[in-house]
Chain A
């Protein structure tokens, strides 16, 4: 499903570097989300946005920031990457009328050395 795309798909970086992960969607959904997936911990919500002017912290927002540039674009930044931010990051979207069903992007595998 190419409706939600993420770039880059893989990234290796060093501690202290600033990293931006980008998400774009063509589904026309207002709501967008960033999750990280760690083995044994499932998916945890980092930030979410219900429209362009609405940004909310999730359960693990420390060390991350986001920008909603347009309805279709939602980027996640790590201002100063650290090794425990090594994870698989997923962007997702949902429509208000879909009772919460979320549509996921392919993920970005980030490694912080």
Chain B
């Protein structure tokens, strides 16, 4: 069955530290990939997305993610985090064909210490 794994459930960083959140998916077909962010008390918002082309995608607020097809991964990165990046981050995968599938990972809670 299709699944999305986020191995880091809780991450604590100091401001200016670099961030990398892992996301792996299991699906053999073509996929669209997403990272969503949920700030405390707010709804989910799109951070970035990958459909095709350059596997390195850039999103809002300095975030980027790299799609590595051979590893079925779509890791999120940011060179220098800020206190305002404290949030929960969700990876999501949408299968492009066949039965509708839009699967979210379990999320990673990031806390950035000022």
Whether A100 and B43, one on each chain, are in contact in the complex, defined by CB atoms closer than 8 angstroms, is: no
**Segment among B11-19, B45-53, B65-73, B79-87 that sits at the interface with chain A:** B45-53
Tell me, yes or no, whether A15 is within 8 Å of chain B by CB. Answer: no
| B31 to A, closest residue via Cβ | A100
Contact B44 A100 (CB under 8 A): no
Tally chain A residues at the interface, Cβ within 8 Å: 23
User: A residues within 8 A CB of B104?
Assistant: 35, 42-44
For the residues of A in contact with B, the DSSP-based class is strand
How many residue pairs, one in A and one in B, have C-beta atoms under 8 Å apart? Answer: 48
Selected from B34, B94, B105, the residue in CB contact (under 8 A) with A42 is B105
Contact A100 B9 (CB under 8 A): no
A42 CB, nearest partner CB in chain B, Å: 4
- CB-CB < 8 A to A106: which residues of B? 42-43
A48 at interface (Cβ–Cβ under 8 A)? Answer: yes
Q: Is B90 an interface residue (CB 8 A)?
A: yes
Q: Are A42 and B100 in contact (CB under 8 A)?
A: no
Given A42-B107, A99-B32, check contact A104 B102 (CB 8 Å).
no
Q: How far is the CB of A100 from chain B (nearest CB, A)?
A: 4
Please give me the residue from chain B that is nearest to A105 by CB atom.
B43
User: In the complex, which of the residues B9, B46, B107 contacts A101, with contact meaning CB atoms closer than 8 Å?
Assistant: B46
Indicate if the CB atoms of B90 and A100 lie closer than 8 Å: no
Which of B32, B43, B100 has the largest count of A CB atoms less than 10 A from its CB? B43
A74 beta carbon closer than 8 Å to chain B: no
A56 within 8 A of B: yes
The residue in chain A whose Cβ has the minimal distance to the Cβ of B50 is A99
Residues in chain B within 8 A of chain A (CB atoms): 6, 9, 32, 34, 42-46, 49, 51, 90, 92, 94, 100, 102, 104-107
Q: Report A's interface with B, CB cutoff 8 A.
A: 1, 33, 35, 40-45, 48, 50, 56, 90, 92, 99-107
